[in-house]
Structure 1
Amino acid sequence: MNNSLVIVPTYNEAENIVNIINHILSLSVQFDILIVDDNSPDGTSKLVNGFIKKQQNKVFIISRLKKEGLGKAYKEGFNWALNHNYKYVFEMDADFSHDPEDLVKIYDNLEKYDVVVGSRYINGINVVNWPLSRIILSYSASLYSRIITGMPVKDATSGFVGYRSEVLRSIDVESLVFNGYAFQIELKFKSFKNKFKILEIPIIFKDRLYGDSKMNSSIIFEAVFGLISMRLKSLFKL
């Protein structure tokens, strides 16, 4: 086993999963890969299991019984990573919106920082092929999260992040309550509250070429109203 694990949640990513695994395995830094699949009806897990037969010590899978959301997928993945004593744990999408080459940049910075965020907004707005409405929504969500939480992270909703394992152990991942994109904000906020060093590095985010976006109204609702509740609880230690 390597000391670094990339966790990739999947639901109907058969069009992307083979290429994303191959790309990660080809990088100059060695990463293990954990796929957390929500019982994808398109056969994503079958393709991953084919890799496991060839790469038994590099590619792993958690096959869940039903679609339960991003937050629960990452919680299972984090617990798996901690139980297997990985030093560095990474979050990444399966659809190539995150460039696998940037994993190496995130990895390199984890020697000096506890949390390294692949940021779309640290140097302006670096998003490709998104409609203006979605750019405004995403950027506004990050601005809103900074105002509500007081956290100096420009891309709080980013799902391309590297964590030192001690960060995840200190947070107690089972205590995380959100399940959509607010989960990403909550995780960074708890890291910030626990005095861990957070660095943002610039990335270029590209909209997926294949498959469908997982964004929906319930995710937006959770982010808007859940953050207020999270902030109040932190202020009054509820």
Structure 2
Amino acid sequence: MTFGEAGPVPAQGQIAQQIFWYTAFTADMTKPGLPVVNADGTPEWRMAPGPNGAYWKQGMQNGYQDVGSWTFFANHDANRTAAAWLYAQFVTAKTTSLKKTIVGLTPIRQSDSQSKAMTDLAPKLGGLVEFYRSPARVAWTPTGNNVPDYPKLAQLWWKNVAVAVTGEKTPQQAMDNLATEMDDVMGRLQRAGMAHCAPKLNPKSDPAKWLSDKHAPWKKLANEKPKGETIAYATLLNAWKTGKVR
């Protein structure tokens, strides 16, 4: 199943909770007649912040988010680059971005999020508008520019997570293997050299050198699974409405 195919699956009404969520999926969850949409157009589903684990501390970010950006190749056909630049200006222009937000539900402007059009849509978007109007929208770290070779490193992530999910390896074994494979890739990049921001790996050392009970990276906790706490969705939504992260 590809990324594009996976997005609409929750709209079929057979998934109780989805942790990995893109706002780009939202439009497929709001269409009339879906099992997850009420007769009046309001959703049966809700967007909520993901749960925090035992290692989360007050002041930490709540997670990661992909955010949109535009990349233009330095050495490319000049006409195509110019066309791409014109298109980028068109879809991000203030005169068109609100329409794009209403259709695609991926806001890029504060003015769009605060618009009357989005206020009117809010009851049908399951918390999306309240989220983007709150400080919570910056509590998820955006994509950085410090990944030396995203395609090579990303493929290592998914295959190692998969064997942890299936139970073929413990989570610790899977993450140890992921770290080793990522170090191997970055080590090759370091040796080959890069024009900008080449990786610089530390020599391998005892984990005790880095792990601490006072700061990240944290030592292993005696209890990694403390008793969970359920927070009412209305409480979370109200926090967003009153300008809080959580």
Tell me the TM-score normalized by structure 2: 0.25
* Larger Rg belongs to: 2
Higher strand share: 1
Higher relative contact order (CA 8 A, sep 6+): 1
